[in-house]
Amino acid sequence: MLTKPRNKITKRIFIAATRMNDGKTTTSLGLYSALSDGKKKIGYIKPVGQRFVDINGEKIDEDSFLLTETFDVSVPIQAMSPIVVDKDFTKDYLDDSKSIYPKIVNRLCRSFDRAAYEKDYIIIEGTGHAGVGSVFDLSNAEVAKMLNAKAIIIASGGIGRPIDEIALNQALFEKAGVDIIGVIINKVQTDKLDFIKHYCGQALEKMNLKLLGIIPENAKLSEPSLSQIFHEIKGECLNTTDNIQSKKIKKVVIAAKTGLSTIDDIEDGTLIVSSGDREDIIQPCIKSNKASMLSGIILTNAIKPNDATLADIQASEIPFILSKDSSYSVISRMNKMNIKTQPHDVDKISIIKEILKSNIDLKEIEEAFKLSL
């Protein structure tokens, strides 16, 4: 049974964050690409995952799946996603921690050795803030220490709250004996870049932390695909699903007026939400010269249109989705969605690669490994 990885050579970068959805996966993608551009061999692992997809009957963390679909990682995906926390994991662990802990540590270390084999750097993506995973003795700080990694902390744009949260995470990593390379401030409004850089830089300097970069907010990265909304609302497609992955939602219109008024609101990337019995809205949208600008139409309340309109829908290239929920419920669920980059989001992945490469201090990260691992 391993308690530490055998690999002593590969440089380890642990990507942590002050909270969920601060941009760990975005940073991991961008950093992987930026380091690869220097002709270095890069590995990736997400030791503990909480959201997973089914790959050939195995539970695989969705971020590991994204990385392996985006880059030529040349590593079995199982090695990149050793521990997946499903709904029973914590309960089962607490019932028999003495038996389970050595097994999951052994699995983690062996997976790490496989993912890091013959790599110059390996990016280790954490889960949530530094303390997440403490309940089963594998917090981010503990995993970073076990793997002998140096940490980068990601926080969302601002000064007061982000700095306070960085301080809490700093304390947990330092208590575990983990060196912190520095901090990346993510999702900063473009008109506040200089302001945040100046004042966050000052605050971090007082904490003996380096500011590695300020990442500007990019609206395109927050645009959901129609496919994501389809799965979120558990909808039923009334015509085609062929292109719903590529349809990005830039604007949502709740069709409560007349058909002509609704058409006036249509712009590129518009999603219309309407009750299914509003043929006076559906038909003008199908026949409008703005039809190609529509990313889709959601029909609510489980109401299908009349047979004539349904036939027109099935002949239309506009994706139509039927939901059993009300328009209010559909909009509410959409507003609460966590928009994560998917393997088919080629445009987003391209933006992520460029935005990280242009806004982080890669030399500072590389310098952190020149003295020692």
Residue 290, Cα to own-chain centre: how many angstroms?
A: 32
Q: Phi, psi at residue 357, to the nearest 5°?
A: -60, -35
Token digits of residue 317: 């290239």
| Per-residue confidence (pLDDT) for residue 346, from 0 to 100 | 87
Which residue ranges make up each domain of the chain? 11-218+341-367, 224-335
User: What's the N-to-C CA distance of the chain in angstroms?
Assistant: 23
| Per-residue confidence (pLDDT) for residue 371, from 0 to 100 | 58
**143 close to 123: Cβ distance less than 8 angstroms:** no
| Per-residue confidence (pLDDT) for residue 372, from 0 to 100 | 53
112/40 Cα distance (integer angstroms): 18
Residues of the chain predicted below pLDDT 70: 259, 371-373
Token digits of residue 284: 């003008």
pTM confidence score: 0.90
DSSP codes of every residue in 158-186? -SHHHHHHHHHHHHHHHHHT--EEEEEEE
| Per-residue confidence (pLDDT) for residue 373, from 0 to 100 | 45
Which fold is adopted by the domain 224-335?
3.40.1390
Q: CB within 8 A of 315, min separation 6: which ones?
A: 239
HSE at residue 142, side-chain half, CA atoms within 13 A, is: 14
Q: Phi, psi at residue 322, to the nearest 5°?
A: -100, 130
Alpha-helical regions (H) of the chain: 24-36, 62-70, 77-80, 89-95, 97-116, 140-146, 160-176, 193-206, 226-232, 259-264, 279-287, 307-315, 327-335, 346-359, 362-367
Token digits of residue 128: 């949530």
| Per-residue confidence (pLDDT) for residue 34, from 0 to 100 | 92
Q: Give burial (CB, 10 Å; 0-12/13-18/19+) of 177.
A: exposed
Q: Compute the residue count for the chain.
A: 373
- CATH number of the domain at 11-218+341-367, out of 3.40.5.90, 3.90.180.10, 3.40.50.300, 3.30.70.260? 3.40.50.300
